[in-house]
Copies of this chain bind each other. A is one copy, B any other.
């Protein structure tokens, strides 16, 4: 019997299609072993020596080298083909019946490593910590500007996930509005807080830790689990264990735990499912909701093992062809090589 499950935070229903359900190993069928890439590509704008090919950097981890020179570990630069550009505060205007505004905001690229061929999962713990520091530093800088209502950090791994450049990188977009679907999550979280006096994500976390069957891994400050109403196979959410509305509140001493859990989950996907394409995004409180008692930032990883089709596009509702509990068990038990 198929089943519908409601996401406790967003109130969205997801169909868990047991009649067409795939076992974790079914997703491995026909998937090739990951193939090595060259560790340097002279034409790649993100490779060392090609710093002149990008706009001037906004952040870097360097050992005494000059900005925009070689000799960095992590580097953040404005996107050369930005979706939004910085230029004060956007003005709204009418176009006939419709509302429009200038495309003001920021669009940056986090170059995660000087090495062309290393995906984020395979970087060293200290390198992933460098990436986490870049995320936090740029988040804080962009979020300080009130024209940036939301700062979204995300990553596209592989062609099916929409990436065009191989060199490991993530992106940060600061938008001049709060997107409607994010507003909805905030609104539902606020309703829950009104009723229960608790953060809905804190409640979910407590429940998941109690019941344990969807937990993937955890450390002192973070927990990773497959959500009860996962939208796609092997969806994983990473949440700070203690309430934090915004990614900006994330203190120094938690960086290494954040890097460790992110690396571990990505490694479990890489080794367990043979390097699947995936997207991840950090969903955090908007500029005007920093410190909210009812929101809780989280990182959502959505592997692209299946294709969203007309049903999802038409209804906005998902059909998941796998069981969240089975996916979690598979990932929990998946061992990864030690560094």
Contacts and interface: CB of A to CB of B under 8 A. Distances in A.
A279 interface: yes
A11 interface: yes
A338 interface: no
B161 A307 contact: yes
Contact of A314 (B207, B211, B228, B300): B300
A58 B180 CA distance: 39
Given A19-B81, A156-B310, A175-B315, A103 B11 contact: no
A270 interface: no
Interface in A58-101: 81-85, 87, 90, 95-101
Interface SS of chain A: mixed
Given A83-B319, A184-B184, A8 B98 contact: yes
A239 to B, nearest CB: 15
B310 A4 contact: no
A331 to B, nearest CB: 19
A127 interface: no
A307 B98 contact: no
B85 A2 contact: yes
A287 to B, nearest CB: 14
Contacts of A170: 310
B19 A85 contact: yes
Interface string A300-314: 101000111111011
Given A154-B314, A279-B313, A310-B280, A211 B17 contact: no
17 contacts: A2-B82, A4-B100, A4-B101, A8-B97, A8-B99, A13-B177, A13-B179, A19-B81, A97-B203, A175-B317, A179-B316, A180-B316, A180-B317, A182-B315, A279-B313, A300-B314, A308-B308
Interface of A: 1-6, 8, 10-13, 15-20, 81-85, 87, 90, 95-103, 150, 152, 154-156, 159-163, 170-171, 173, 175-177, 179-182, 184, 203-204, 207, 210-211, 228-229, 279-283, 300, 302, 306-311, 313-317, 319
